[in-house]
Structure 1
Amino acid sequence: MLLALYQILALLLLPLLLPWHLYRSLSRGRSPGFAERLGWLPSAVTKRLAGRPVIWLHAVSVGEAMAARPLLKALKSRYPDHGLLMSVTTETGRAVAAGFPEPDCCIYFPFDVLPAVRAALTSVAPRLIIIMETEIWPTFCREADRRGIPLLLVNGRISDRSIGRYRKLAWFFRHPLALFSHCCMQSDADRDRIIAIGAPEERTMVCGNLKYDIPWRQVPVEERHDLRRQYGIPAGRLVVVAASTHPGEEELLVPVWRQAAQQRNDLQLVLVPRHPERAGEVAALMEKNTLACRRRTTLTDGAVLAPGQVLLVDTVGELMKLYALADLAFVGGSLVPTGGHNLLEPASLGIPLIFGPHMANFRDIAALALQYGAGVQVTDTAELAEALKEFLNSPDLRQVLGANGLKMLRDSGGATERIMDVVARSL
């Protein structure tokens, strides 16, 4: 009865969702992908998957898609005769995932209304569905179960910020959670939390965090120099990459950067907003504060950034290259209460870290980074300014923290293999 009421409500809300989604997509300069979201998949997708058993992996956005890379590689290697379909929800997630070589196809996840879900599942007929983190859609889960398709929740997590809401809605999530064959959680805390909201205890286990399984390496000096030339950064500059920043965060960073730049003239800031469509807004903020900036999309071959000119990155899919050319990384979403972002990406390249107090979505990673001495957590802009000054003035400190980050990655992997054991049992 509850599922039937949910499905009716979802259908009633769909006409309201479509215009909002259209506006959101077009305002970001991207296609809304309505056909795929309504379950009508392109013939190129169905033809490419035809005649093979299909594994369907779903990741909401950029963070989940990047975290899925080790698992995608393992699936492709272990099951080369299977078709590998990846779905995402957001437009930026689609832009990133479409560049992955492992999936045969990338689509938008269907709206959780019965006609769309049925159409998508009929077109793909997957042998196994893998859901990253906590994407729990009742109609999709019920229809997959009705068709006998095993559902795996992997890299599962319940953040500090969301556990209260989940507990209040445990009556709603209990049924779809019971349909998962296995729930592979990141930590003991995540396991306890998802069991508390209805996941079957006997099918819920701790497998670790896939994000720790990303490749790690020390970036060679020659590669770093080549990357800097590609981005117009002259030799001799100390490069700070401020990544995945959010509204309100750039306003906090600008005075800190101005203070640092007044103390020495060899600094280069590379600013990477989490959503590149905000580049105009961020550029206006820079102009207001008399900071010169150059957008990535206007950077031509042979261009050189002027002293004091900020490189404003208004593209997607380049963050790892930018980390590779950096001397220091500030990981955003952490000075403002949005839950933080992935510290492991810069750490995997031996880049020392600075991050703010708001790391609820990455609490375990933040704790591990501090435990290993791979980075510094600051509570406000005053501490950020002090940490930035200390890092920029001490090459030895940067080297030690970078090496600690590589050790953290080396010691903390293994989630992919544990999840692949579950996949093998499910198939």
Structure 2
Amino acid sequence: MYLLYDLIWLFCCLLLVPWYLLRRHCGGKNRQGLRERLGWYARGRLAPLENRPVLWLHAVSVGETRAAISLIRALKKAFPEYALVLSNVTETGHAIAREIAEIDLCLFFPFDISLAVRRVLRQLRPAMVVIVETEIWPNLVRCAHRASIPLVLVNGRISDRSFPRYHKIRSLLRPVLNRFAFLCMQTRQDRERILALGASPERVEVSGNLKFDMSCDGIGNRSSQEMRAVYKLPADALVWVAGSTHPGEEEQILETFEKIQRQNTGVCLVLAPRHPGRCPEVGQLMTSRGLGWTARTDLDRRKTPLQTGEVLLVDTVGELLNLYAAGDVVFVGGSLVPVGGHNVLEAALLKKPVLFGPHMENFREIAHLLVEAGGGRMVQAEDLGDAMSALLADRQLRQSMGEAGFRFLRQHAGATQRTVEVMRRLLRS
């Protein structure tokens, strides 16, 4: 099985490597770190790890990296003698990782080819490998197990979409899962699902969701008005922030924004597509509708603040929390279309009322509990305008929803400490 898996990866590399080289040659910024993905590091690249034990954490992209921040900070306090390495698959995740002060070294995750993985393990010599959420790489698991390096899955979850697919190959997954030293799952349902796939019950624990332990990174005590000044948003306007949007949602959001504009002329929209590479097409969509807009990367060249009725199009990564802080109401995307939703807790952390659509399969329990606590509302596409208008018109309602969401967030905190305790036990043993 592993030989076949390696052969498939090698075939993929015949396509991937030329593609990476071509993108780099053409000046693209989206395909970096090819050498690291093959397990080769430049001279001196691993210098921060010399003469120190290593904890290797892996978070595939932006969401997983942000979720891991509270754990990373706790690990730095609990194990100050260890060097912390964080790897990512995506360039956007890597960009976020480089901003985390507690990380000693940021790397790109190697292709899951046994030769590359063994090379990386020999060079890093980690005391433990920690995988954030459900990133199951068979060769990494097998090679680490053979080298007697404990693997821990943290913040584990198995979505509605993934579970049927995993279940079909559970006979192949069972030996992989049982090479993990421990699996820390978010909810009881996630635990039941991982057990159904063949994990050993004594190695599975419900530790909670690390995202409940988020902090206002980089915002501190800065007020909404201060954040608006950073993004040249009008101080006296109402600001609607639509974050992590997907194709098919921007049209509905812009149509709703235009309707709101006809009712209330003092509103601005901040539109942040999930994938910034889509911003040119979103910009064309706004131009075709006659909407004035400015890209985030063009703000420095703009001498005057945005006007009410204009749109700030966010073509950068890593700024969503700051933008939520500047807003009055937040809509979280990936939820009006069948994507599965995105993290609604970031808005709750900043005491903002949050709206989202019906497709929250990836965050079903969190979304349900947030609505139950009074901090959020689920809306259908046709109801988005009425719900948004009601919130924009009622400051007291916005404040009460924001406070309720924040209380809910803090009531469910604690996953970080439970996860650290699991790792402490394993390192001692």
Would you say same fold, with TM above 0.5? yes
Per the alignment, residue 288 of structure 2 pairs with 288
Q: Are residues 1:406 and 2:425 paired?
A: no
Q: Count matched residues.
A: 424
Counterpart amino acid of residue 287 in structure 1: T
Counterpart amino acid of residue 84 in structure 2: L
Tell me the alpha carbon deviations over residues 7-34 of structure 1, each in whole angstroms, 9 at most, x when there is no partner. 2332233213334556788796323321
Tell me the alpha carbon deviations over residues 19-63 of structure 1, each in whole angstroms, 9 at most, x when there is no partner. 455678879632332101001123343111111000000001000
Are the aligned partners of 1:28 and 1:277 in contact in 2 as well (CA < 8 Å)?
A: no
Per the alignment, residue 145 of structure 1 pairs with 145
Alignment partners' CA distance in 1, 2:89 and 2:220: 36
More displaced, 316-325 or 17-26?
17-26
Alignment partners' CA distance in 1, 2:294 and 2:168: 47
Tell me the alpha carbon deviations over residues 193-228 of structure 1, each in whole angstroms, 9 at most, x when there is no partner. 0111121111011000000011369x9996211111
Alignment partners' CA distance in 2, 1:19 and 1:385: 47
Give the secondary-structure state (helix, strand or coil) at the position aligned to 1:43: coil
Tell me the alpha carbon deviations over residues 261-295 of structure 1, each in whole angstroms, 9 at most, x when there is no partner. 11111101001111111111110010011111001
Counterpart amino acid of residue 143 in structure 1: C
| Root-mean-square deviation (Å) | 1.8
Tell me the alpha carbon deviations over residues 354-387 of structure 1, each in whole angstroms, 9 at most, x when there is no partner. 00111111112111111111111012x2111111
Q: Are residues 1:337 and 2:333 paired?
A: no
Give the secondary-structure state (helix, strand or coil) at the position aligned to 2:46: helix
Per the alignment, residue 314 of structure 2 pairs with 313
- How is 1:24-423 mapped onto 2 (pairs within 5 angstroms)? 29-215=29-215, 223-300=223-300, 302-379=303-380, 381-423=381-423
Alignment partners' CA distance in 2, 1:255 and 1:150: 52
Cα gap change, 1:141 to 1:24, in 2 (>3 Å): farther
Give the secondary-structure state (helix, strand or coil) at the position aligned to 1:299: helix
Alignment partners' CA distance in 1, 2:394 and 2:23: 44
Alignment partners' CA distance in 2, 1:77 and 1:142: 30
Are the aligned partners of 1:359 and 1:366 in contact in 2 as well (CA < 8 Å)?
A: yes
Counterpart amino acid of residue 256 in structure 2: V
Are the aligned partners of 1:341 and 1:362 in contact in 2 as well (CA < 8 Å)?
A: yes
Are the aligned partners of 2:241 and 2:327 in contact in 1 as well (CA < 8 Å)?
A: yes
- Note the C-alpha offset of 1:185: 0.2
Tell me the alpha carbon deviations over residues 133-157 of structure 1, each in whole angstroms, 9 at most, x when there is no partner. 1100111110001111000000000
TM-score when normalising by structure 2: 0.95
- Note the C-alpha offset of 1:172: 2.1
Cα gap change, 1:191 to 1:16, in 2 (>3 Å): same
Q: Which runs of 5 or more structure 1 residues have no equivalent in the other structure?
A: none
Are the aligned partners of 1:216 and 1:406 in contact in 2 as well (CA < 8 Å)?
A: no
Are the aligned partners of 2:152 and 2:180 in contact in 1 as well (CA < 8 Å)?
A: yes
Alignment partners' CA distance in 1, 2:288 and 2:338: 24
Q: Which runs of 5 or more structure 2 residues have no equivalent in the other structure?
A: none
Cα gap change, 1:37 to 1:288, in 2 (>3 Å): same
Tell me the alpha carbon deviations over residues 308-356 of structure 1, each in whole angstroms, 9 at most, x when there is no partner. 1100111111111111111110001111111111001110010000001
Residue identity over aligned pairs, in percent, reads 47
Cα gap change, 1:20 to 1:333, in 2 (>3 Å): farther
Are the aligned partners of 1:238 and 1:266 in contact in 2 as well (CA < 8 Å)?
A: yes
Alignment partners' CA distance in 1, 2:225 and 2:233: 9
Q: Are residues 1:5 and 2:4 paired?
A: yes
Alignment partners' CA distance in 2, 1:71 and 1:286: 40
Cα gap change, 1:192 to 1:222, in 2 (>3 Å): closer
Alignment partners' CA distance in 1, 2:163 and 2:204: 17
Alignment partners' CA distance in 1, 2:222 and 2:112: 49
Give the secondary-structure state (helix, strand or coil) at the position aligned to 1:322: helix
Give the secondary-structure state (helix, strand or coil) at the position aligned to 2:396: helix
